[in-house]
Amino acid sequence: MHFIIIIIYFLSLHVSYAYLRIMPIQKKLNEYIRWLIVEKSLEGLSCRTITGHLNISKSSISRVCLHFQKYGCV
């Protein structure tokens, strides 16, 4: 009986550890980085190219560019 409880305990630790590895902590982009993204976008660089330059996800870059196109600010 104790053996089964110990196995279940270790499996639950493994699952929670795996969950923590999958879900990274999200960080907000500061205003300087957002303006840098907009500047590179206005220069004609694609989102993928900006991703390579700044090491930021493509979806974050797209979100900043769309926000700038819609509202004119970051």
Q: Helix, strand, or coil here: 73?
A: coil
CA distance 6 to 46: 52
Please give the pLDDT value at position 74. Answer: 82
Domain carrying residue 14 = 2-71
Our CA angle for 57, 69, 64, nearest 5°, is: 20
* pLDDT block averages, 10 residues each, the chain of length 74: 59 54 72 96 96 94 96 89
Please give the pLDDT value at position 24. Answer: 63
Number of domains in the chain: 1
CA distance 37 to 60: 10
